[in-house]
Amino acid sequence: MQIDLTAIGVIIAAVALIIAYLQLVRTPKLSQDKQVSSTKKESLLSNIKANNHITIGYFNCRPFIEMVAESNSEPSGYYAAIMKKIFNSYNINILWKQLSICNSIESVLNKDVDVIVSVFQTAKRAKFVDFCCLHHSVKIGGVCRKNLTGIKSLSDLTTNQDLKIVVGKNEIGHELIEVLNLPRRRLTIIENEDTEKIISFIEIGQADVAILDSRSVKNFFDNFYTKKGVTLKPIFQINPLLICLNGIMIPQDQHELSYWLENEMKKVRNEESIKQMEIDFLEEFQGIINRI
């Protein structure tokens, strides 16, 4: 059997032409894909400066920021004072928007707010948003009935299978119990970050332990707790469950805004009035809030 070398050569040449053509067709698409992926994200800082406007979200989070009784009033506290000084110096108007921690991430992703002040940085939240100006740490603890003993460490929450726990949805306590993967039958998750409401589940016997940041626990015992009904006590004070960094939540890939806020806050934090505010709340929340 004779092999027609000429025919084989023609076939090889044809295949080579087809491959070359396909590469030629694909090349523009690849370059377009690269061009799309390398496109810079819209600068939030530039928009804020161009529009002379920023929407700042916040929660009632004493001493960092506090809601004022009058519904239309601006918040007060450490972050409120700093934000006003920064943006007033650039003639940028602030719209304050009170939020729930339950929908904080969605508020940033949906552009309902530009930033949120006084929020804990966590691994779960960092999947969707970014953080900057992490200038303080806050201990995470809890509350239980005074006659409940043996709750002194994180492992006690996992080994005591009869222990019922209450947390606020998307609060730091909620994120912690998700990591611990505790049985659902032991958990009560409420869509309310109000400390008094969360702790009320202990008072009515539906939970044994409430997991909260120790700042909220102190505020509860200082301002809301009375000796009527069930006697309660703070827990995990010596050995906190976690220590979280507190700062400003911003959208991802907004590094220009992050650097700018860091620099502006650095300047304002050196002003005497702001320094004194920080000294006062660090003294009041000694052992709970620390400066970084």
pLDDT at 69: 65
Q: Is residue 33 part of a domain?
A: no
pLDDT at 41: 78
Q: Is residue 285 part of a domain?
A: yes
Task: State if pTM tops 0.75.
Answer: yes
Q: Do 204 and 147 fall within a single domain? A: yes
Facing residues of 131 across strands? 249
Helix ranges, the chain (H): 5-37, 44-51, 78-88, 104-109, 154-159, 172-180, 195-203, 214-223, 255-269, 272-284
Q: Do 94 and 127 fall within a single domain? A: yes
Q: How many structural domains is the chain composed of?
A: 2
CA dist list (Å): 201 to 33, 140, 160, 205, 238? 54, 19, 19, 6, 24
DSSP-derived secondary structure letter, 285: T
Round to whole Å and give the CA distance between 206 and 80: 37
pLDDT at 37: 38
Question: Which of residues 208, 227, 242 is at a domain's end?
Answer: 242
Q: Are 141 and 244 in contact (CB under 8 A)?
A: no
Q: Do 121 and 170 fall within a single domain? A: no
Which of 52, 101, 48, 94 is closest to 73 using CA atoms?
Answer: 94
Q: Do 87 and 229 fall within a single domain? A: no
Q: Is residue 207 part of a domain?
A: yes
Helix (H) or strand (E) holding 131: strand 130-145
Q: Do 161 and 181 fall within a single domain? A: yes
Q: Is residue 232 part of a domain?
A: yes
What CATH number is given to the structural domain containing 192? 3.40.190.10
Facing residues of 190 across strands? 168
Q: Are 54 and 94 in contact (CB under 8 A)?
A: yes
Q: Is residue 18 part of a domain?
A: no
Q: Is residue 3 part of a domain?
A: no
Q: Do 133 and 148 fall within a single domain? A: no
Q: Do 207 and 157 fall within a single domain? A: yes
What phi, psi does 132 have (nearest 5°)?
A: -150, 175
Q: Do 56 and 108 fall within a single domain? A: yes
Q: Please give the residue range of the domain that contains residue 156.
A: 139-242
Round to whole Å and give the CA distance between 68 and 55: 18
Q: Are 227 and 48 in contact (CB under 8 A)?
A: no
Q: Is residue 193 part of a domain?
A: yes
Q: Is residue 25 part of a domain?
A: no
Round to whole Å and give the CA distance between 216 and 118: 13
Task: Using 70 as the pLDDT threshold, list the residues of the chain that sit under it.
Answer: 1-40, 69-72, 226-230
pLDDT at 231: 87
Q: Do 57 and 132 fall within a single domain? A: yes
Q: Do 61 and 197 fall within a single domain? A: no
Round to whole Å and give the CA distance between 201 and 167: 10
Q: Do 82 and 155 fall within a single domain? A: no
The residue with tokens 């052992």 is 287
Give the DSSP per-residue string, 69-117: SSTTSPPBSHHHHHHHHHHHTTT-EEEEEE--GGGHHHHHHTTS-SEEE
Question: Which of residues 242, 259, 281 is at a domain's end?
Answer: 242
Q: Do 274 and 211 fall within a single domain? A: no
